[in-house]
Chains A and B, each alone.
Chain A
Amino acid sequence: MPRPEHKEITLTIDGRDVPAIDGQILVDAARGGDIEIPVFCYEPKIGGPVGACRMCLVEIEGISKLQTACSTPVKDGMVVHTQTDRVKGAQQSVVEFLLVNHPLDCPVCDKGGECPLQDISYGYGGGKSRFIEPKRHFVKPLGLSPLIAIDRERCILCYRCVRFSQEVSEDHQLVLLERGASTFVATFDGHPYVAPFSGNIIELCPVGALTSRAYRFRARPWDIEGSGSVCNLCPAQCNVTFTVRDDRVLRVLSRDHDGVDDGWLCDKGRFAYQATHSDERITAPLVRDGDQLRPATWERAIQVASGIARHSGAAAAIVGGETTNEEGLLLGRYLRDTLASHDIDSRQGGALSAGVLRELARTDLQATVPDLEFAHTVLLLDADPVDDAPILDLRIRKGARRNGAQVLVASGRPTALDARAAVAVRHAPGSAASLVLALDAALSGDQGSASSHATDAGSDLEAINALAEALKAGGEDVVIVWGERVTDGAGGEAAAKALVNISATLGLGTREGSGLLELPRGTNGRGLREVGAIPTAGPGLSNPVAVGRSTDEIAAAAAAGDVTALWFLHADPTRDGRNTETWTRAMASAGLVIAHASTLSPELAAHATVVFPAEAGAERDGTITHPDGRIQRLRKAIGSPVDVRPAAAIIARIAEVGSGVDLGPTAGPAGTAAVSAAVSFYAGLNVDEIGGRGLRWQDRDAATNLPAGDVNGESAAPVPAASPNGALRLGTYRSIWASPEVELSPALKFLSRRPTVELSPIDAERIGVTQGQNVDVGTGADVLRATAHLRSDVPAGSIFVESGLAAPGNLPSEGQLIEVNKA
């Protein structure tokens, strides 16, 4: 559904002319005219008005009864009064009623000082209560979940939390039980409210009924400061405010940004700040001493690391998703310009040519986050937003629920949005490339080619034709959300070209509100490519002097002795579950292994030569680039522990000590200026322009500097999906909870993942396992023991093993056959 058109009108509120948009809700229109109408239940982010709290009663000329401003659309010439005695009387009445059963325990309530009920009682109440009867009592506080405490006596039954659960996150867990004054918020079966987005209800609650168990009693509003930044835990890059007290992060709140997060946060983003202050975090440089890593002085650590200068031509870097644009640019420069190596990669699944990357980055093909809400059709290609970029899951649901957007899914693993999907097509794990080729052929009417690609994808032609039909029939505005894994492996380049072709067939480039949106694996996946932290392109996606090795090739080369120094910038490839065995050998045989990390995996502990402590998210400065091209600023909210230094400064210092080169500015506005000088289409961008809300480079004039793409190069065909034949096709997935931050945060500890394998009930029966039993994946020395999780929508013949765990096991790559036995 295209964005609605706006008609400007004028209404009169309290004798003042207020400009507004026809049909706008009166509360919002009044706010635009600087007139406050108090509300509790009204929250347009959740959905339509419910008119429950009655706080917003106003007088409208021509209507005898007082009206709720939260449910009244404005019309031209409407005359509204918010300050008459009648309105004030109603407001005082509602406040008095709300406080009848409210305990008024503000002095011991976490919300005190930042409480809408408190504010409105002061602002609009009568200042006294005539209520002398006993109040309603509940047992309190209770854990609504391990993250949220509920105090039902404080609840004013505004319905916000229940509506969030029912209409935004659609987990349908929260309900109201009983009725009248005995009504209370609960889960239907009394089970804890555990869901990926549950923490949002804490922020929605206008009283102290729902409080964060991690934040309870840690601070009062006058003890704290808010510090705006961006969450760097996943590519969704939600805007956040860190609540800081005494240089510690105590809480994370949403910093509502319509272009990014729509005002929501996932529970990882909200609670994983605790990892910042974990005792297990590395806070001093470590240097290898025999078979141990021992704390060392900075001088010593830099000395050891600067030994990389001796590995000229044989050094390689893996750049993790958390790396900022500034850090990525700096390391790429040092490697390419000084160490004569082109082996730097920030992607995991193999390299795409610079020409194809530029084609995919075309400004006209780029969809934005709000486009998800207004598109006619959203197609997910081997991506599950709830795990890959959680907040986008809510945006897609919003589009489907409010605007009737058609959701289509083509993926290996069943997605959380399948239930919303008009068509859901499965392909074999790791065969997304073939599926994209098949869809391209089907859209172009080449049934023969579509059929053979469909077979290669382990899917069937009929399903792909249905998908193509739905895409064509659903309306012009199409957003294709594709996971980075679509371009993994041999057929990656071909899949990328097919994506470009599909976009052309559907005319995505010709319409505002249509386009492609990639979900990269790393937080700053897009920015790292654009600053040249990939083997196939220099800064600005320019053609490189020479093409270097990709991640998997670096592992193989290092294991074979061709690469002798490894630099892991915020990366630990042994934790990704890909080629763990090769990586272990590579690290063992490399002469120098430099890592920047907060925690040590067993492999890093065994093989790293020097480990620099990494800054936590709230300690970082720099820029990152959102998947839709929005460049955002990370801003330092707290000081780092004394021995933790910015990675960019470390890189520069190593270059200086080891090679005697000056890499230029590393941090602050000058560091960002260096990025915009290096990336042609960021040209002229500075931190002031980025500001607190960021901006999309596609919206700036410099966007035209993006060099033309090239899709005419040769590309290999994808490997056909293996035929199961008794064994099972291996797929992997990384859950939102599979991250070191979750393991290190006490509040989230209960969500940290153990090895799990998802399989279909058919295969489970054949193997003889039931839900929750252990299975052995693989054979021989590399067997991984995991808990079986039966999912009826996993297609028979495929299994999905959770990756990103602390002990990932050694699995072959996606799509290969693997034996699964009952443990």
Chain B
Amino acid sequence: MSAILFDRIDEPGLNDIDTYERRGGYEALRKALAQPREGLLEELKASGLRGRGGAGFPLGMKASFIPGADIDKYLVCNADESEPGTFKDRELMQKNPHMLIEGMIIAAFTVDANRSFIYIRGEYVLQAEVLEQAIAQAKAAGFLGDNILGSGFSLDLVLHRGAGAYICGEETGLLDSLEGKRGNPRLKPPFPANQGLFQGPTLINNVETLATIPAIIRMGGSEYAKLGIENSAGTKLVSVSGNVQRPGNYEIELGMSSRDIIFDLAGGPDEGREVKFWFPGGSSSSVLTAADLDTTYDFDAMEKAGSMLGSGAIIVVDDSNSVVDVALTLASFYKHESCGKCTPCREGTTWTVKMLQRVQSGEATPMDLDIIASVQEQIIGNCLCVLGDAMAIPVGSLVAKFRPEFEAHIESARERNGLGITPPAASEEPVLSL
């Protein structure tokens, strides 16, 4: 397979427009601008590309939901890459920013949006600087602004830096934040395609999705669809982290064996260690165990295995780690990031963390594990957005798959800490004052 997104990604100066153009960059844009919009939409549909942000919604279908009416429409690039374990967009934006910009221009042209935004995670300072420079270059070269390449199509592109909230990676929370409001998710429907940014129809996609568009236009949608397998077309950037010898981003063709990704590409766990469990699609995916390593890495197979492809971030945990630590770390992250808007997520994440803390310190009983499992059940499917599920699904799967280890941990921690069967100590939780 030849790389598409990571094609000669480490070439020095690729973030410069001259290098990018020398390699054939912005040719897809010229080709696209010469086509009718319907044709482009057909190409995107034919490519079979599914959104790379986590939900896996087909790009072409999403773009076709944008109404054709003559009103202000928007394109938004979700670059708030905040799912733990995910760092693919970071490398892509830093090393090849023009591919994203070119993809955005084509996408905007396809849905006839004249205003576009990149909402980038606040911590990505270097990447924001690289993008700012690339946007300026694209503007100077006439790829952005009024009447792009004489096509009559105009596009404005603004880079907006987030302020550090996981929830602003949720598309409607992102839109609220972009509008200058508190970053809280909105009720859906209406979906962004109908009423998104500033109430206008909005196409919102992940960096990787948009950056793939030039390749689709260049190759043709049906040609691109030949990559990967059925229902999981194309290549995917996979961020492998955790207990592996060569963590990093790898571009793979969907349908590859997960074992090959973890062991052949990333080197597997250290000598003498074994894979205990792994998150196939970011920290909010249900965990899989060593028994699932031969599952192919694609949307359908992951769903069938009871998990999801998500953002394509594989986190490997080997047998040197305690499952309790992982569960607590995970739950604490989501508790910290819960926006507080809806009840099950706000209260459920807090409660789960408090219970897991007791499990860790040995102050819990096996009955608490039942309550933890039941609280996760009560969260799943009852929240306003998917943040609550994002904690409840992996934590629930950990408790379900490693219950004996949780119980053993409680026993040993109780002995280690010299605790009898005593009620929990009064909390030292500080009183919040204003």
Contacts and interface: CB of A to CB of B under 8 A. Distances in A.
A183 interface: yes
Interface stretch (B60-68, B77-85, B311-319, B343-351): B343-351
B34 interface: no
B371 to A, nearest CB: 5
A53 B341 CA distance: 8
B434 A142 contact: yes
18 contacts: A53-B342, A54-B383, A97-B343, A97-B344, A97-B348, A97-B351, A97-B378, A134-B427, A138-B432, A142-B434, A157-B346, A159-B341, A176-B182, A178-B340, A180-B338, A180-B346, A180-B349, A182-B432
Contacts of B338: 179-181
B354 interface: yes
B424 interface: yes
A134 B429 contact: yes
B355 A52 contact: no
Contacts of A179: 165, 167, 337-340
A181 B354 CA distance: 12
Nearest to B349: A180
A113 B429 CA distance: 31
Contacts of B39: none
A180 B384 contact: no
B336 interface: yes
A93 B382 contact: yes
B421 interface: no
Given A139-B432, A176-B182, 14 more contacts: A52-B341, A52-B342, A134-B426, A134-B429, A136-B432, A138-B433, A139-B431, A179-B337, A179-B339, A180-B338, A180-B346, A180-B349, A183-B339, A190-B434
B187 A180 contact: no
A133 B355 contact: yes
B335 interface: yes
A66 interface: yes
B432 to A, nearest CB: 5
B404 interface: no
B296 to A, nearest CB: 26
A543 B188 CA distance: 62
Contact of B381 (A51, A66, A139): A66
A51 B349 CA distance: 18
B434 A53 contact: no
A407 interface: no
Contacts of B383: 54
Contacts, number: 116
A50 interface: yes
Given A54-B383, A66-B382, A98 B343 contact: yes
Interface string A596-610: 000000000000000
A50 B433 contact: no
Interface string B172-205: 0000000000100001000000000000000000
Contacts of B348: 97
Given A180-B336, A180-B338, A137 B343 contact: no
B333 to A, nearest CB: 11
Contacts of A473: none
A131 B351 contact: yes
Given A50-B187, A54-B383, A134-B426, A183 B354 contact: no
Nearest to B167: A179
Contacts of A50: 187, 341
A101 B344 CA distance: 12
A181 B381 CA distance: 19
Given A138-B431, A180-B335, A51 B342 contact: yes
A132 interface: yes
Contact of B434 (A139, A156, A159): A139
Contacts of A142: 434
Contacts of B427: 133-134
Interface residues on A, range: 35 or more
Interface string A25-67: 0000000000000000000000001111111010000000110
Given A66-B381, A100-B350, A52 B432 contact: no
Contacts of B182: 175-176
A94 interface: yes
Interface in B320-379: 335-344, 346-351, 354-355, 358, 371, 378
Closest 6 pairs (CB-CB, A-B): A134-B427, A183-B340, A93-B378, A97-B347, A133-B354, A180-B338
Contacts of B341: 50, 52, 157, 159
A758 B78 CA distance: 49
A613 B257 CA distance: 92
B278 to A, nearest CB: 28
A180 B337 contact: yes
A788 interface: no
Contact of B378 (A49, A96, A137, A190): A96
Contacts of A659: none
A90 interface: yes
B434 to A, nearest CB: 7
Given A51-B384, A52-B384, A54-B384, A98 B347 contact: yes
A7 interface: no
Contacts of A190: 434
A139 B431 CA distance: 7
Contacts of A90: 378, 382
A186 B434 contact: yes
B347 A181 contact: yes
Contact of A133 (B167, B187, B336, B351): B351
A568 to B, nearest CB: 50
Contacts of A51: 187, 342, 384
B347 A139 contact: no
Contacts of A132: 424
Interface in B402-434: 424, 426-427, 429, 431-434
A150 B160 CA distance: 36
A96 B355 CA distance: 15
Nearest to A68: B187
Given A54-B384, A181-B335, A133 B346 contact: no
A579 interface: no
Contact of A100 (B351, B382, B431): B351
B176 to A, nearest CB: 12
A2 B51 CA distance: 42
A130 B432 contact: no
Interface in B375-400: 378, 381-384
B168 to A, nearest CB: 11
Interface in A149-175: 156-157, 159, 175
A71 interface: yes
Interface in A85-109: 89-90, 93-94, 96-98, 100-101
A440 to B, nearest CB: 38
Contacts of A181: 335, 338, 340, 346-347, 349-350
A92 to B, nearest CB: 8
Nearest to A184: B432
Nearest to B339: A179
A137 B354 contact: no
Contacts of A186: 434
Contacts of A137: 429, 431-432
